[in-house]
Amino acid sequence: MATLQKANTAQSNIVFLFIGIWLCAIIGFHNTYTVNFPHFKGFQWEQHFHGAMLMSWFLMLIIQPLLIRFHKPQIHRSLGKISYVLAPLVCYSVFLVTRMVYLRESAIRPQDSVLGQLSLDIPTIFIFGLFFILAMINRKDSAVHMRYMVATSLLMIGPGLGRALIIFGGMPFPVAVTAVYYVSEIIAVLFLLNDIRKGNNVKPFVTIVTVLLLNHVCWAFQSAAWWQSIAKWFVTHAF
């Protein structure tokens, strides 16, 4: 009973991490997106759809732990069923924006540069899907389920925090991107070390850290022939 209570407490407290990441997104996208409300001149529908899906995912991430905190497990499970629709829509929204940016940038930039930048987006589609699937497979094990849901939020640190570092910190784009990769990896490693310290199941965060590192590798080697080939194959068959 004590172990279950500790798991429920941890699951409910994780809401503070989700709120923090959401605030980073709000701050980071203000000057480049929300400041244009309500007319949003120059923006495409794909960007609005993408923003709506991500905000919906954040809303779910924040509400679900609160339902645990206030002892509403039935509502938690019922609301969780929405994720079976919402998660694929999140992936699809990333795909749509990726395609939009690729088609726009291909007209004005060298092909290898555009394919290299896709290392930010193509892996995210599949990694988000992977973490969500693992969370759902382990939905009856709340501790493991929570860890993979946390992992989906770590993927969302980059866009908001990266823009904030560029706009408010004056960081060059590549430096900001590399920095946010390190931030998400450090957070994941801290969670892993905490699980090791407490004797918890370490498999989820070992998996998460490994996948995040592989994601970083794609960015670091975006000019390599192997990534250029993967990106070229993807755009040829998907776009």
Token reading at 171: 């960081």
Task: Kindly report the number of other CB atoms within 10 A of residue 102's CB atom.
Answer: 20
What integer pLDDT is reported at residue 2 of this predicted model?
Answer: 41
**Average of per-residue pLDDT across 155-175:** 93
Count: domains in the chain: 1
Q: What's the whole-number mean pLDDT along residues 5-21?
A: 75
| Separation of first and last alpha carbons in the chain | 52
Q: What's residue 30's pLDDT?
A: 86
8 Å CB contact between 173 and 166: yes
Task: Give the model confidence (pLDDT) of 52-108 as tens digits.
Answer: 999 999 999 999 999 988 889 999 999 999 999 999 999 999 999 999 999 999 999
Mean pLDDT of 203-223: 98
pLDDT at 82: 95
The residue type at 191: F
The range of the structural domain enclosing residue 12 comes to 2-238
